[in-house]
Amino acid sequence: MIEVKNADFCIEQIANSGQCFRINKLGPTDVWQVVAFGKELTIYRVDRNTSVFHCSPEEFQSIWVDYFDLQRDYGMIKDLILTANDPFLRDAIAYGAGLRILRQDLWETIVSFIISQRNNIPRIKSTIEKLCAPYAYAFPSPHILARYDEKDFCNLGLGYRARYLTDIAGSVKAGTFDMEYLKTLSTREAITYLKNFNGIGEKVANCIVLYGLHRLEVFPIDTWISRIIRNQYGGNFDIKNFSPYAGIVQQYMFFYQRSLRGQRNIP
């Protein structure tokens, strides 16, 4: 077991932040299951600043430190954002103080955010659980998903998104979509590359680059963020003021806005 003391880490907030879909609470206690990179991790939240990771020191260092970006100083990033003297961001940071941008598997992120289109978080999680059920903790590879046809995906509740997954898995298998090449591109080039593929528009491409490539300067705009920019900033919000941490700003804003609409995001 590894005890993590960090005021800028809250597994519950991360689980409910909309960036990942395989972190779940186990029963009524503050115990959480994290599934990533073919591994299962149990985290017990002791108090606001302390969590216990149930894993070996070797696994903690080789997988979870990087996955949760634990070496990054989020306190410094918050202080930098707060120099803007922005009342909405001040409240958003206070509310989502334990949020972090995860370093997720690229393929899992691509599939997850194609599924996320015009969807809600509980339904996304349910669909991904069904997709992964035959493979235990492993996320099905592109070659596995390339064996599925649209009907198979439709049976999982994917609707019109079924065709998008069929296309992207087939493209990876055929070599026309190259994830290793994608990793070498600049942020803008990566977004442009992704948008060449069926089912990946501007917002999904930005989410993939932020959550799958960990490009923290990216600022995905969905209906929640659009609402914030319209209602809180009169339609004028210059994200360049927060580079290179625009993606972290977006996460604070998104999480807080959903809470204001009565969603279950507990600080």
Decide if pLDDT at 263 tops 70: no
Decide if pLDDT at 267 tops 70: no
What tokens appear for 231 in the block? 């209602």
Decide if pLDDT at 214 tops 50: yes
pLDDT of residue 249: 96
Asked whether the bond before 244 is cis by omega within 30 degrees of 0, the reply is: yes
Decide if pLDDT at 266 tops 80: no
Neighbours of 47 (CB within 10 A): 8
Contact 93, 83 (CB under 8 A): no
Q: Which among 172, 157, 183 is positioned nearest to 105, based on CA atoms?
A: 183
Q: Which domains does the chain have, with CATH numbers?
A: 2-95 (3.30.310.260), 106-212 (1.10.340.30)
Amino acid at 86: D
Report d(CA 92, CA 102) in Å as an integer.
Answer: 19
| pTM of the predicted protein model | 0.91
